């Protein structure tokens, strides 16, 4: 009997269990739920203990973390079983699952109950948390950089002064590298510092991420259900009791540090805050006490860095390669990242022709050099994108049409933009230029040392602008720029066909003998060339041309066919040898800017000037001055000037007192006059700048020249002080003629009076 019992008892137990699984599924589900509830209650108790410990800068033990994870996994699995059971209960009897399905569900619930009991038993801990082991300083990647030791010393001096220290400068000059080196100094010497917190901020600043990083570094747990202000209070309480160093890299917008929980640094505080930014304005708006500008490298360190990346062996191998290498390094403008990138790109080039070609590429299509687009131009583009509007961005792109390192005059940028049609208002565009210049300075896109009316951009900023203008290198000839590169001939006409803007200024081009077909061309800049001839019909196939600059050339006449430029808005003939304007100019009815200063004009056909009804700016000082009042026959009359109703700025040459009086009577012309040259006027015996009748409308007059007026005997000037340096400069040229200070305030903007060529 014992043998039979031993055989059948396991079979009976198996049958009873199987029968129970099939017939009592609900009981097993209920038992599992009861056990899970007890487990979750214990889990909640342990979590409360952990949360309390974390508030005291402690961290849950590894066993507790593992146990909580097991409970969470078990909770999910139990919920699936309960959901499955409830779904079965909702089915009609005829659609209920079979016996085997019920069996397996009950079996799962029973196993889950047993596992919950086992996990609950393991939840008896002697301790739930340990003291947090805090890493005071996290090492940041850093490489040796030429010339940075002095900057690191300067940064340390700034930080010792207390308050917030700001490092600013253009992209790629080493701001982050300097901050990394400063961070790593605390690996060696940080006895007085509790924690160094390094945060990479970037363009998309996020308050939650900022506070989470700080909380992680000082042992404050993250709480999703709290607002940033509430979390800030917790961080503030902890940080106020610590000596901390907060390093913020790549800040684009001012951060409200106090709101986020960062204490204000008190006098003599051991705590320090250092930030890097491209935007100088960020430093000011965050109350930075000391600012440190990161400049590009001087010539010698720049050359050392370039040679290191290329390899000294290559520099010693060929004198010709070395010469080309120096030229290439110079074109990087001391920009560390550009020097590194170009140096690496050329490290395996052993043919001098490759080096010479690389110079041309860096001048005209820098993105073609290996790594330049991703390593140099893309980071700089972020600063370009930061500019506030399309007009400002376009002004920056226009700067790329000028040669490298050129100081670009305001009048050129303003004139070109009006010529392109971006605005019709001269005064608005003037203000826009200063707005642009301010933003270029703020975004570290402008070189230092320029006066208010000029701007200079770094060669790498220019390279970035050319890259953007060419649709990121996809359309290389969209902006065909070969400015100041020593060209003796213009590129072939076939390369002009897709261009929208062309600049060959500042070269050695003598003649243009091809007739290019440029249906899209809007701007053509040919100034500062010894250009003496342009073939007839040259402009025939440029229907969209709006800006044409032929200034500082040797042209003695304009080619026939210039009347084809029906869209032209800006024409600059400054300092050319042109003696006569062609009648064809009367067709340029959309012209806004006409610059004829320092042009030895002897004849202007009647009807040309009055046809240019859209003119806003007419500059003719040191130019044609033989204006006639009344009927002039075939030559231009003064009345043609008076017909220009849109004129806003006028520089004019006058050769008779009658014309001067006519100018003063015409309010529109008088108020537009900025510069006035009176020459060879024998009827001028005295110059009365206090005369209300003659000068009362010339409120914008800035400069007056008196040249070769043989009978001038006396000059009367309005309210001039003996200490005025500018007038003293002018008085030196009065050659003994008396000056009488007047009593009326007639010419508020006059700052130069120049007398030339007067007889002794």
Query: What tens digit of pLDDT does each residue of 169-194 get?
Result: 999 999 999 999 999 998 888 778 88
Model confidence, pTM:
0.78
Phi/psi of residue 201, nearest 5 degrees: -80, -60
Q: Residue range 460-483: average pLDDT?
A: 94
So what's the pLDDT on residue 148? 82
Query: What tens digit of pLDDT does each residue of 29-73 get?
Result: 888 888 889 888 889 988 888 877 766 657 788 888 899 899 898
So what's the pLDDT on residue 269? 84
Residue 674: pLDDT over 80 = yes
Q: Residue range 354-367: average pLDDT?
A: 92
Could you tell me which residues come within 8 angstroms of residue 425 by beta carbon, excluding any fewer than 6 positions away?
none
Q: In this structure, are residues 145 and 174 in contact, taking their beta carbons and an 8 Å threshold?
A: yes
So what's the pLDDT on residue 132? 58
Q: Residue range 413-437: average pLDDT?
A: 81
What is the rounded distance in angstroms from the CA atom of residue 589 to the CA atom of residue 611? 6
Residue 500: pLDDT over 90 = yes
DSSP secondary structure string for all residues of 623-683:
S----BSS--TTB-BHHHHHT-TT--EEEEEE--HHHHHHHHH-HHHHHHEEEEEEES-TT
Residue 163: pLDDT over 80 = yes
> Which comes out higher in pLDDT, residue 198 or 10?
198
Q: In this structure, are residues 18 and 188 in contact, taking their beta carbons and an 8 Å threshold?
A: no
Residue at token pair 């500082």: 552
So what's the pLDDT on residue 11? 46
Strand, helix or coil at 65? helix
* Residue 317: band (very low, low, confident or very high) from pLDDT cuts 50, 70, 90: confident
Q: In this structure, are residues 77 and 31 in contact, taking their beta carbons and an 8 Å threshold?
A: no
So what's the pLDDT on residue 631? 67
Q: Residue range 500-527: average pLDDT?
A: 96
What is the rounded distance in angstroms from the CA atom of residue 270 to the CA atom of residue 343? 42
Tokens of 85: 């059971």
Average pLDDT value over all residues in the chain: 86
Among candidate residues 355, 339, 333, 342, the one with its CA nearest the CA of residue 304 = 339
What is the rounded distance in angstroms from the CA atom of residue 98 to the CA atom of residue 514? 92
Among candidate residues 410, 398, 391, 416, the one with its CA nearest the CA of residue 570 = 416
Q: Residue range 327-356: average pLDDT?
A: 93
Q: Residue range 676-686: average pLDDT?
A: 85
> Which comes out higher in pLDDT, residue 433 or 308?
308
* Residue 14: band (very low, low, confident or very high) from pLDDT cuts 50, 70, 90: very low
Q: In this structure, are residues 555 and 532 in contact, taking their beta carbons and an 8 Å threshold?
A: yes
So what's the pLDDT on residue 20? 54
Least confident of 132-146, 200-214, 229-243, 317-331: 132-146
Query: What tens digit of pLDDT does each residue of 323-338 get?
Result: 999 999 999 999 999 9
Least confident of 450-459, 620-629, 669-678: 450-459
Q: Residue range 4-20: average pLDDT?
A: 49
Among candidate residues 337, 396, 400, the one with its CA nearest the CA of residue 369 = 337
* Residue 685: band (very low, low, confident or very high) from pLDDT cuts 50, 70, 90: confident
Tokens of 442: 């703020």
So what's the pLDDT on residue 397? 93
Tokens of 530: 């010894």
Residue 10: pLDDT over 90 = no
Q: Return the bridge partners of 605, or none.
A: 635
Tokens of 452: 């208010």
Q: In this structure, are residues 172 and 380 in contact, taking their beta carbons and an 8 Å threshold?
A: yes
Q: In this structure, are residues 639 and 616 in contact, taking their beta carbons and an 8 Å threshold?
A: no
So what's the pLDDT on residue 731? 44
Dihedral sign, CA of 652, 531, 460, 313? negative
So what's the pLDDT on residue 721? 44
Tokens of 476: 């290389």
Q: Residue range 479-503: average pLDDT?
A: 94
> Which comes out higher in pLDDT, residue 721 or 100?
100
């Amino acid at each position: 009997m014992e043998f039979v019992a031993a055989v059948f008892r396991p079979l009976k137990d198996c049958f009873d269990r199987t029968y129970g699984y099939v017939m009592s599924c609900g009981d097993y589900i209920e038992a599992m739920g009861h056990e899970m509830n007890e487990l979750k209650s214990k889990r909640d108790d342990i979590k409360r203990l952990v949360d309390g410990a974390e508030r005291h800068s402690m961290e849950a033990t590894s066993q507790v973390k593992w146990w909580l994870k097991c409970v969470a996994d078990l909770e999910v699995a139990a919920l699936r079983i309960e959901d499955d059971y409830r779904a079965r209960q909702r089915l009609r009897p005829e659609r209920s699952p079979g016996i085997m399905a019920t069996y397996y569900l009950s079996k799962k619930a029973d196993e889950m109950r047993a596992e919950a009991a086992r996990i609950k038993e393991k939840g008896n801990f002697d301790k739930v948390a340990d003291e947090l082991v805090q890493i005071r300083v996290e090492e940041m990647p850093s490489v040796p950089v030429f010339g940075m030791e002095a900057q690191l010393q300067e940064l340390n001096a700034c930080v010792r002064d207390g308050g917030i220290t700001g490092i600013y400068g253009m992209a790629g000059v080493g701001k982050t590298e300097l901050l990394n080196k400063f961070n790593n100094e605390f690996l060696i010497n940080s006895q007085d510092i509790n924690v160094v917190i390094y945060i990479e901020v970037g363009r998309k600043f996020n308050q939650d991420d900022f506070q989470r990083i700080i909380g992680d570094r000082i042992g404050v747990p993250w709480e999703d259900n709290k607002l940033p202000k509430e979390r800030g209070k917790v961080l503030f309480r902890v940080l106020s009791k610590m000596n901390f160093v907060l390093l913020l890299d790549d800040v684009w917008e001012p951060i409200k540090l106090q709101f986020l929980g960062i204490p204000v640094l008190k006098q003599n505080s051991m705590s320090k805050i250092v930030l890097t930014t491209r935007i100088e304005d960020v430093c000011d708006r965050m109350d930075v006490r000391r600012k440190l500008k990161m400049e590009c490298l001087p010539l010698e360190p720049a050359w050392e860095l370039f040679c290191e990346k290329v390899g000294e062996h290559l520099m010693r191998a060929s004198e010709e390669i070395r010469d080309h290498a120096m030229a290439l390094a110079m074109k990087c403008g001391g920009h560390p990242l550009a020097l590194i990138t170009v140096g690496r790109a050329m490290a395996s080039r052993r043919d001098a022709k490759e080096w010479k070609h690389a110079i041309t590429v860096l001048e005209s299509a820098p993105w073609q050099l290996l790594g330049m687009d991703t390593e140099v131009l893309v980071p700089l583009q972020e600063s370009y994108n930061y500019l506030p509007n399309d007009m400002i961005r376009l002004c920056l792109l226009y700067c790329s049409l000028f040669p490298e390192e050129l100081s670009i005059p305001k009048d050129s940028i303003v004139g070109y933009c009006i010529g392109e049609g971006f605005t019709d208002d001269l005064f608005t565009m003037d203000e826009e230029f200063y707005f642009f210049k301010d933003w270029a300075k703020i975004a570290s896109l402008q070189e230092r040392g320029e006066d208010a009316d000029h701007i200079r951009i770094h060669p790498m900023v220019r390279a970035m602008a050319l890259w953007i203008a060419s649709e990121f290198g996809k359309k290389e000839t969209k902006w065909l720029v070969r400015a100041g590169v020593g060209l003796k001939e213009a590129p072939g006409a076939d390369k002009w066909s897709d261009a929208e803007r062309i600049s060959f200024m500042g070269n050695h081009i003598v003649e243009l003998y091809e007739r290019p077909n440029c249906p899209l061309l809007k701007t053509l800049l040919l100034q500062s060339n010894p250009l003496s001839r342009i073939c007839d019909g040259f402009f025939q196939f440029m229907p969209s041309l709006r800006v044409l600059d032929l200034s500082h050339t040797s042209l003695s006449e304009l080619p026939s066919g210039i009347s084809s430029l029906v869209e032209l808005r800006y024409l600059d003939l400054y300092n050319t040898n042109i003696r006569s304007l062609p009648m064809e100019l009367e067709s340029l009815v959309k012209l806004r800017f006409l610059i004829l200063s320092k042009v030895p004009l002897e004849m202007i056909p009647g009807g040309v000037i009055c046809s240019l009804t859209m003119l806003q700016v007419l500059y003719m000082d040191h130019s044609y001055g033989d204006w006639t009042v009344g009927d002039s026959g075939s030559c231009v009359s003064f009345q043609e000037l008076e017909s220009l109703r849109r004129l806003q700025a006028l520089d004019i040459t006058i050769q008779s007192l009658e014309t001067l009086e006519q100018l003063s009577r015409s309010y529109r012309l008088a108020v537009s006059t900025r510069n006035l040259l009176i020459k060879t006027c024998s009827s001028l015996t005295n110059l009365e700048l206090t005369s209300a009748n003659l000068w009362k409308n010339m409120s914008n007059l800035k400069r007056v020249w008196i040249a070769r007026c043989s009978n001038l005997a006396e000059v009367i000037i309005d309210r001039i002080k003996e200490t005025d340096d500018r007038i003293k400069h002018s008085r030196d040229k009065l050659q003994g003629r008396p000056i009488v200070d007047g009593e009326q305030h007639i010419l508020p903007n006059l700052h130069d009076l120049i007398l030339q060529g007067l007889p002794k």
